[in-house]
Amino acid sequence: MTKGTVSMDATTTSIPKRSFWRSLWNYDKRNLLRTVKRQEMKEEMTKDLRFVLKHYKTDTLDTKIALKEVKRRAGIRTQRLSWKWTSIAAMLLAFIATGTYYAMRPSATVIASGDVLLNYTLPDSTHLTLSPHSTLSYQGNNCRKVNMTGKIYFQVRHDELHPFDIQGKICHVRVLGTQFEVAENNSFSEVFVTSGRVLFSSRFQNEGLILTKGMKARLTKGEKKPVKTGTGDVNCVAWATHQFHFENTPLKDVLACLSDYYHVQLTSDDPDKRLSGDFDADSIQQITALIEHALNVRIERK
């Protein structure tokens, strides 16, 4: 073997192949790192030299300009770093604030009627009757400020210090203590008052109407103020009260009301007779029997 050379024969070399290549790799890697570092230092020195030459005058180096340039460079780096940390801090504060808001926000109570009629009493003793597919909700313990959808009959407990507020998608109703119906769909809201008085307005406007017993009004979507639609029929809330009131009412109108309530078709052989009286909606058989006896008529059910 020639002096100064390394044999690559695994049977004659005293260094195993794997150790040899690892040593060679580490040696080259160290040299490479040194070369890179020297190159970086060289580039940095070149930049410094260019900076000096830029501001050099004969026998003079303007140190003020040099110092100003150094501060400018440092300032840019500091400003960028400051903006970076400011942005991170702002995001963290926003995240913490959002989390705190949702953590401290009172839980909501939601009452939904589903496919059936639902009677419900709020913690303040206000009684509700929800028509099928209606909802009512409120935040925390404040059951005097509610949101609703669908059709609901309210029997609000009187409390002068705490008005009862109802928000729909379109309307806003405020009361002290009364009984009334609020019905709302995507096109309009209607309020019918059976006792007491309410303020009926758009949820987006302060101006509204004062409604008292027997009054009915409608607010169409997009309008600023509701309009009165005349006197309502107390039997239109029979679905909630389960009571009928007739006063010199033509029998054909009585049977139409009962047909709508019981989802049947009722007819009579003398539809022009008139009926006065109050009836509980117990059963259709009982109420028609009472009418037949009172008016001496025959009622057919289809």
CA distance 250 to 235: 14
Strands, E assignment, the chain: 56-57, 60-61, 108-112, 118-121, 127-130, 135-139, 145-155, 164-167, 171-175, 179-184, 188-195, 197-202, 208-212, 215-220, 227-231, 243-250, 266-268, 274-280, 299-301
- Provide the pairing of β-strand 243-250 with 274-280: antiparallel
Average pLDDT for 273-283: 91
User: Is pLDDT above 70 for 160?
Assistant: yes
Hey, what are 26's tokens? 């580490």
- pLDDT 10s digits, 17-48: 455 445 444 545 555 556 555 655 556 555 55
Least confident among 15-24, 49-58, 116-125, 197-206: 15-24
- Provide the pairing of β-strand 56-57 with 299-301: unpaired
Q: So what's the pLDDT on residue 249?
A: 95
User: Is pLDDT above 50 for 8?
Assistant: no
Pick the more confident residue, 281 or 61: 281
* Average pLDDT score over the chain: 79
CA distance 50 to 62: 14
Domains of the chain by range and CATH? 17-102 (no CATH), 116-234 (2.60.120.1440), 242-301 (3.55.50.30)
Pick the more confident residue, 246 or 38: 246
- Length of the chain as a residue count: 302
- Could you tell me where the DSSP H helices lie in 55-149? 63-104
- Per the CB < 8 A criterion, the answer to whether 239 and 117 are in contact is yes
User: Is pLDDT above 60 for 90?
Assistant: yes
Longest C-alpha distance within the chain, in Å? 139
Q: So what's the pLDDT on residue 296?
A: 94
